[in-house]
Structure 1
Amino acid sequence: MPLLARTVTTPLAIEVRRGAVAELGTLLHDRRISGGGDVAVVVGPGQGDRIAEMVRPGLGNADVFHIAGGTLDAAAELGERLGARSYDAVVGIGGGKTIDTTKYAATRFGIPMVTVATSLANDGIASPTASLSHGGRRNSYGVQIPIAVIVDLDFVENGPDRQTQAGIGDALSDLNAVADWELAHRERGEPIDGLAVTLSRASAEALVNHPGKITDDAFLTTLAEALIMGGLASAVHGTTRPVSGGCHEISHAIDALFGEVASHGEQVGVGALFCTYLRGEQERLAQLVHCMRRHGLSITPADLGLTDAQFAQAVAHAPSTRPDRYTILEHLAMSPAEIDTRLEGYADALRDLVG
C-alpha cells in the first residue's frame, strides 16, 4: 500500500532563547547558512546601532543596512541595495516592520532570509506574508518563509509591554480564525486543512492556558512559539486562512476607516472577542476575556480608542475587506441596527464576566 505524504517547507532552525543575537554568527555557521559571514544584516531604528555592533564580531564579511521599514517603497529600495552584491543570506533584525520589509526584499531577489525577532508583536516572525504600506493603505504580500527564525528574549524583555500584549492578541485570535474556518466548512463546504488547523489552534490553546506572566521566560517562549506556529500554519495551507477570520476583517476595517487607532494585535484581539460572542461560544469567550484581562489587553472598543458607533461602523465595513472569506460576519449578514443590538449584548456579556 503506497504511503502518501505532503512536503512542508519549514525553517531550518527555530531558536527562542536569551543571547541569540550575540551568537548569530555561530548559528549561521553551524546551520550551514553562511560559513564565512557573507550576509546582509538589516536593522531598524532604535536599537539598530547596538545590535549591529553585537553581531559584527561573528560576521566579519557582513554588510549592515539601516532602514526605516514598513512600506513597499522601503522594501523595494532595500532590494536594490541587496542586489549590488552576492550574499549567502539576508538577516532581518528587529520588530515587525523591519522583518516584513526584509522578507519582501529578500524574496524579490531570491536571497534566503533569516528572522531575528527582538519583539513579539505579531505572527510575521515566520509567516509567508509581509504587511507593508503603499499608497496610504496597508496590504499583505506573499513572500518566502524565513530559512531560520530566532527570538532573543533579552530584547523582548526590555521592549515595551504593549508590543508583547499585541502579540498575545494576535496569537489568541487564531482560535477565532479556526472557528470561522470551521463555520465556512460546515455552511459552504469550504475545504479545511487539518494540519494547518492543528498548528494554529494547538499553539493558541497553549498560550491561553499558560499560567505565567509577560515577564516570565516560560510564558514569552510559549508566546514566541505560538506566533511562529501561526506563521507556519499559513505556510502549510498556502493562505492566511488558519490565522485570519472575522477578527482580522474588523481590524482591517478599523484601519481603513479610522487609521491605526491601536496595534494590529490589540485590534484583532477585540475583534476575536466580538466574533466569539456572535457565535454564542460563551465558555470560549470567558476563557479569552480572562486571559486578555490578566495580561492587560484591550477587550472593548473604548479600550482601543473607538466609540461604540465607530466600532459598529467597522463591523459593517469588515466583510468588504476580504470578499473571498466567509466568517461569522458574512454568515450573520447583520444590518446596522442588528450590529448595534449585538454590540449592546457584547457589552452586557463583558460586564457579567468582569464586573
Structure 2
Amino acid sequence: MSDSLIADLLAGRWRDPETGAAVTVPLRSVAIAPSLAGQEADLLKPLGLGRRLALVSDPTTHDILGRRVERALGSIADLQRVALPDRPHADDATVASIRAATTGADALIAVGSGTINDLCKYAAFLDSKPYAVFGTAPSMNGYCSANAAITVGGLKKSLAAQVPVGVFLDLSVLAAAPRRMIRSGLGDSLCRSTAQADWLLSHLLLGTPYREAPFALLAADENALIEEAGALIAGNAAAMTRLARTLVLSGLGMVICNGSYPASQGEHLVSHYVEMMEGERLPETFHGEQIGVTTLSLARLQHRLLDGPPPVLRPTAIAEGDLKRHFGVERGEACRREWDGKALDTTKAELLTARLAQDWDRIRARLQSVMRPVLALERALVVTGAPRRAFDLGWSAVLYRTALIRARQTRNRYTALDLAGDAGLLEEFATRESHSQPGAE
C-alpha cells in the first residue's frame, strides 16, 4: 500500500484525508528497491538536471556508493566530484565551501545520509539549483524534507532548503549500514507519536494550524515498524523496506505542511539544546539515537500531564538577562525572540487555564488518541539495542535535567515542555527523569 501511496503522492493523485483536496509535492522521483546497481543513470536521465553534475560525498560514502554512482553517471554527464572531509559538519562554513566548488554545476548529486543531504539541499537552495540524493543509510527522515539542520554562528537552525527532485534508496546499501545508523532511523521515526501530540496540543490550546495528512501517510507502516523493530537488526528485507518508506513519507509530510511541525517538536528541542550547548564536548552520537531517548522522555511527560487534572497555568516569567547569561549574547538574543513569541502574560495564562478546565476531557481524549504507550516505544529501542537513556548517550544527569528545562526557550513552538513549564511542573519532572538514570549525580 505504501509503495502505491508514494506513487500517488508524486503523481498528485493522493487526497488530503481532511479536505479531500489533491496533494502535490515538488519531488519527482523516488526509487526504493532491493538493488539500484546499474540503474543510476536511468534514474537521473528523466529529471533533466543538465550536463554538468557535481557529485558530493565524503570518503566513507564515496567508498560505499559514490564510486559506483560516479562510474554510472560518467556516460551521461560531465561529472565533477566534490570530496568533503571525513565526518563533515553541517555548518555554514561547509555550505560555503560546497557552493564555491559547484559554481559551474547545473545540479548537485548528494551521496550520503543526514549531514551530506542537509549540506547539499541547503547549498542547492541558496544557488537555486536542483539536487538529487542517493542515500547510504536509513538513519534519518530528512531525505525529502524542505528544511536542513545547519549550524549558523554556533546556533543550530532549521533552515528552508531545496526539496530533492529525486531520492534513490538501494535497500542492499541501507541494510549494510552500521547498526547504529539503522537504530538512528528507527529513533527518528518513533517521535511521530510525541510530535503529533505536541502539535495537536498547540492547535487545541492556542489555535495554531494543524494537519492530519502527514500522519495519514505513515499509518500503514507504523504498527509493524514498531512492533517488529527487532527485524531491522536481523536484516529482514520487509522491515528495512518499511523503515525506508517511513523515512521518505515523513519527509514528504513535512513538505506538504511547509515545515517540520509533524516530525519535530519537544523531543527535538531537547536534542537540539544539548547539541547547541555541549555538542563538541560529548561523545559522538547520531541524531536519531538522541531522538529515541528524548522521545521516551517527552512521551512520559505527555502521559503524566494527561493522567492528572487540568493544568493551572501561570505567566511565563524569566529574569532579565537570563537567556543571554545562559546561552551567550548572540544565541541568547535569538532565543529571546523565539521565547517572546509564546510566553504567557497574566491575561493569556488565565484564559488558557479556563479553557483547559472547561475542555480538559475533550483535549485529553484527542491527545491520547494519537499517542503510543511509552512501553511500546521503549520496547522497540530495547529489541534493537538502541540507547534509551541520556546516560547511554554519554549525557550527564545535570546536563539532561537542564536540557529538559531549558529546551523550550530555544524555539517558538508550544509543546508539552511549555505546558508543564507554565504549570510549574517541569522542573520536578526534569529532576525525576534525569536522576532515574544510571550514573546520575
Q: Do these two structures clear the TM 0.5 threshold for a shared fold by scoring above it?
A: yes
Q: What does the per-residue CA deviation read over 1:127-166, in whole Å, with 9 as the maximum and x for residues that have no partner? A: 1111223333332211121111111223222221111111
Q: Which residue of 2 aligns with 1:19?
A: 35
One-letter code aligned to 2:415: T
Q: What does the per-residue CA deviation read over 1:145-194, in whole Å, with 9 as the maximum and x for residues that have no partner? A: 11111112232222211111111101111221001111112222222112
Q: What does the per-residue CA deviation read over 1:220-261, in whole Å, with 9 as the maximum and x for residues that have no partner? A: 111111111111111111111100111001101211232164
Q: Which residue of 2 aligns with 1:244?
A: 264
**What's the % identity of the aligned pairs?**
26
Cα distance change of structure 1 residues 63 and 344 upon mapping to structure 2, 3 Å threshold: closer
CA distance in 1, matches of 2:173, 2:35: 9
Q: Aligned-pair distance for 1:90?
A: 1.9
CA distance in 2, matches of 1:310, 1:108: 35
Asked whether 1:287 is paired with 2:376, we answer: yes
Asked whether 1:157 is paired with 2:175, we answer: yes
Task: Identify which range, 169-178 or 191-200, moves more after superposition.
Answer: 191-200
One-letter code aligned to 2:266: G
CA distance in 1, matches of 2:264, 2:389: 20
Q: What secondary structure sits across from 1:131 in the alignment?
A: strand
CA distance in 2, matches of 1:46, 1:315: 34
Q: What secondary structure sits across from 1:144 in the alignment?
A: coil
Q: Which residue of 1 aligns with 2:296?
A: 273
One-letter code aligned to 1:285: V
Cα distance change of structure 1 residues 63 and 340 upon mapping to structure 2, 3 Å threshold: closer
Asked whether 1:66 is paired with 2:83, we answer: yes
Task: Identify which range, 214-223 or 45-54, moves more after superposition.
Answer: 45-54
One-letter code aligned to 2:240: L
Contact 1:115/1:126, CA 8 A, preserved across alignment: no
Q: Which residue of 2 aligns with 1:213?
A: 232
The alignment's TM-score, normalised by the length of structure 2, stands at 0.71
Cα distance change of structure 1 residues 326 and 336 upon mapping to structure 2, 3 Å threshold: closer
Q: Which residue of 1 aligns with 2:209?
A: 191
One-letter code aligned to 2:53: V
Asked whether 1:133 is paired with 2:151, we answer: yes
Equivalent residue runs for 1:108-123 within 5 Å: 108-123=126-141
Q: Which runs of 4+ in 1 moved over 6 A?
A: 344-348
Q: Aligned-pair distance for 1:196?
A: 2.3
Asked whether 1:48 is paired with 2:62, we answer: yes
Cα distance change of structure 1 residues 204 and 180 upon mapping to structure 2, 3 Å threshold: farther
Q: What does the per-residue CA deviation read over 1:106-137, in whole Å, with 9 as the maximum and x for residues that have no partner? A: 11222211111101211121111112233333
Q: Which residue of 2 aligns with 1:343?
A: 433
CA distance in 2, matches of 1:155, 1:4: 37
List gaps (5 residues or longer) in structure 1: 349-355
CA distance in 2, matches of 1:83, 1:158: 34
One-letter code aligned to 1:110: S
Q: What secondary structure sits across from 1:119 in the alignment?
A: coil
CA distance in 1, matches of 2:425, 2:223: 33
One-letter code aligned to 2:35: G
Task: Identify which range, 36-45 or 152-161, moves more after superposition.
Answer: 36-45
Q: What does the per-residue CA deviation read over 1:11-55, in whole Å, with 9 as the maximum and x for residues that have no partner? A: 2111122432542111112x3435x85422211222415644322
CA RMSD of aligned residues (A): 2.6
1:330 to 406, 411, 418: 418
One-letter code aligned to 2:80: D
Contact 1:21/1:51, CA 8 A, preserved across alignment: no
Cα distance change of structure 1 residues 47 and 145 upon mapping to structure 2, 3 Å threshold: closer
Contact 2:299/2:374, CA 8 A, preserved across alignment: yes
Q: Which residue of 2 aligns with 1:353?
A: none
Q: Which residue of 1 aligns with 2:187?
A: 169
Number of matched residues?
A: 341
Task: Identify which range, 189-198 or 248-257, moves more after superposition.
Answer: 189-198
CA distance in 2, matches of 1:50, 1:166: 18
Contact 1:178/1:200, CA 8 A, preserved across alignment: no
The alignment's TM-score, normalised by the length of structure 1, stands at 0.87
Cα distance change of structure 1 residues 180 and 21 upon mapping to structure 2, 3 Å threshold: farther
Cα distance change of structure 1 residues 179 and 4 upon mapping to structure 2, 3 Å threshold: closer
CA distance in 1, matches of 2:433, 2:59: 40
Q: What secondary structure sits across from 2:208 in the alignment?
A: coil
Contact 1:178/1:201, CA 8 A, preserved across alignment: no
One-letter code aligned to 2:151: S
Q: Aligned-pair distance for 1:6?
A: 5.2
Q: Which residue of 2 aligns with 1:352?
A: none
Asked whether 1:76 is paired with 2:166, we answer: no
Q: What secondary structure sits across from 2:31 in the alignment?
A: strand
Q: What does the per-residue CA deviation read over 1:279-300, in whole Å, with 9 as the maximum and x for residues that have no partner? A: 2279610110111111111111
CA distance in 2, matches of 1:341, 1:243: 26
Cα distance change of structure 1 residues 330 and 66 upon mapping to structure 2, 3 Å threshold: same
Task: Identify which range, 158-167 or 203-212, moves more after superposition.
Answer: 203-212
Q: Which residue of 2 aligns with 1:303?
A: 392
CA distance in 2, matches of 1:78, 1:345: 43
Cα distance change of structure 1 residues 300 and 191 upon mapping to structure 2, 3 Å threshold: same
Q: Which residue of 2 aligns with 1:230?
A: 250
Cα distance change of structure 1 residues 11 and 340 upon mapping to structure 2, 3 Å threshold: closer
Larger radius of gyration, structure 1 or 2? 2
CA distance in 2, matches of 1:344, 1:4: 44
Cα distance change of structure 1 residues 74 and 310 upon mapping to structure 2, 3 Å threshold: closer
CA distance in 2, matches of 1:243, 1:16: 21
Q: Which residue of 2 aligns with 1:33?
A: 48
